[in-house]
Amino acid sequence: MRIGIIGGGLTGLTAAFDLTRRGYDVILWEAEPRAGGFASGFGDERWEWPLDRFYHHIFQTDRAVLELGGEVGAEAYFPSPSTVIWHEDTMAPFDSPLAALLYPHLNLLEKARVGPAMLYLRLLRRWQPLEAETAEAWLTRTMGERAYQVLWQPLLEGKFGEDYRQVNMAWFWARIHKRSKALGYYEGGFQALADALLQAVRRADGDVRLRAPVRAARPLEDGRWVVETAQDATPCERLIVTAGPQAALRLLPDLPAGYAAQLGALRSLAAMTLVLALDRPLTRGAYWVNLPKSIFPFLALVEHTNYIDRAHYGGDHIVYLGDYLSETHPYYTLDKDELLARYLPYVRRINPAFEPSWIRKSWLFRQSEAQPFTPVGHSQRIPPLRTPCPGLYVANMSQVYPWDRGTNYAVEMGHEVARLAMEDAPTAS
């Protein structure tokens, strides 16, 4: 029984890990030279560790990825960096009950409404009723209009752009429910987790093919699937596709119309990060700075080396300027130097002493279908992992709802799609 997997992100690698351990013949195709997908990293000649292309951390509640890391020998550790909110040209922490109590931009009455509402969301287990209402409506009603405008509107607007008012409250609940003050990271970055998982699959005789973009996958008359690359066409009894919804549609031209329509209706924004290696710190110890898109052209400034020791990066101070945006947005097509020119005046607003001469090197990364859009009633729109086509499964970040995209949910989905494939396949010998 050969099971093919398209995509070497954490979902595809986790599925391959489970399947190879059960004795299945697994072939995995990944277009990039490194495994890891959205969690993959890049290197510099001065660094000991690779750096994530997109900022990453996990929470102490992220059991799936923590357990998998333990199985393959990638252990996480948990610093407690500072997360701050930019408001009225100041940065103040809002990452713990004490920080919320001391937050200077809300009065006592507003804090008295915010605190119980946040506790309610932390303790609530049944999220389904929340998806019938927008996050804006629920947060404004429970916490008050001003608290919503100061704390949460910038987050929603930054994540979802002009459609932020349509995002449902279940998505926001998931953001609060699993959060922890301490944030987890892997020795060697998230690339180390992906590499450990890759090696575990290969040790179990899984065939992982890097630099192997797939052109299409089509059904055969005998019920199998054939995966076509520039080099060959490989038949499989079962096929798991872990590409985003629109990419999956391109790879699977023969999907039934109904299922294809469900995939096609799923909307996502792209991610873009401009990464700077500086010769000195930019902020006074802040790891994550949430920024209002009404002022800044990027959603967050993440000073990675206020979280992870810069000794691993040759002494560089690493800063991400990150955003979610439509692929039709003018910034999405700019080259690195053009984007840097647009961003640098806003970096100086965060630290007026900043000069371009502080930058040793910079990198630009883009990723399509990065942030799923979750309107009211979204659970009814999500197609199942098991498609109507026998032996075909589609698994991507648009299907982890109500959770937001993340490595923990990629791992959970990998376990689940592997379980479905094994349910539908004869026991491996």
Average pLDDT, the chain: 95
Over 60: is that where the pLDDT of 428 sits? no
Can you identify the CATH homologous superfamily of domain 2-58+188-266+377-423?
FAD/NAD(P)-binding domain (3.50.50.60)
What does the pLDDT read at residue 426? 67
User: Distance of CA 94 to CAs 66, 194, 218, 235, Å?
Assistant: 26, 31, 50, 52
Q: What is the pLDDT of residue 97?
A: 87
pLDDT of residue 429: 45
* pLDDT beyond 90 at 266: yes
Look at residue 425 in the predicted model and tell me its pLDDT. 77
Mean pLDDT in residue range 336-350: 97
> Which of 340, 363, 258, 299 minimizes the C-alpha distance to 157?
299
pLDDT at 96 over 90: no
Helix (H, G, I), strand (E, B) or coil at 366: strand
Q: Are 170 and 126 in contact (CB under 8 A)?
A: no
pLDDT higher than 70, residue 246? yes
User: Residue 414 above 80 pLDDT?
Assistant: yes
**Domain regions of the chain by residue span:** 2-58+188-266+377-423, 96-177
Beta partners for residue 5, in sequence order: 28, 240
The pLDDT of 44-52, averaged and rounded, is: 97
Determine the Cα–Cα distance for residues 149 and 386; give it in Å rounded to an integer: 41
Is residue 249's pLDDT more than 80? yes
Question: Under a CB-based contact definition with an 8 Å cutoff, are residues 172 and 152 in contact?
Answer: yes
Q: What mean pLDDT is predicted for residues 288-309?
A: 96
- For residue 164, give the nearest of 139, 186, 182 by alpha carbon: 139
When pLDDT is cut at 50, 70 and 90, the band that residue 405 belongs to is confident
What is the rounded CA–CA span in Å between residue 52 and residue 191? 7
Percentage of the chain lying above the pLDDT 90 cut: 95
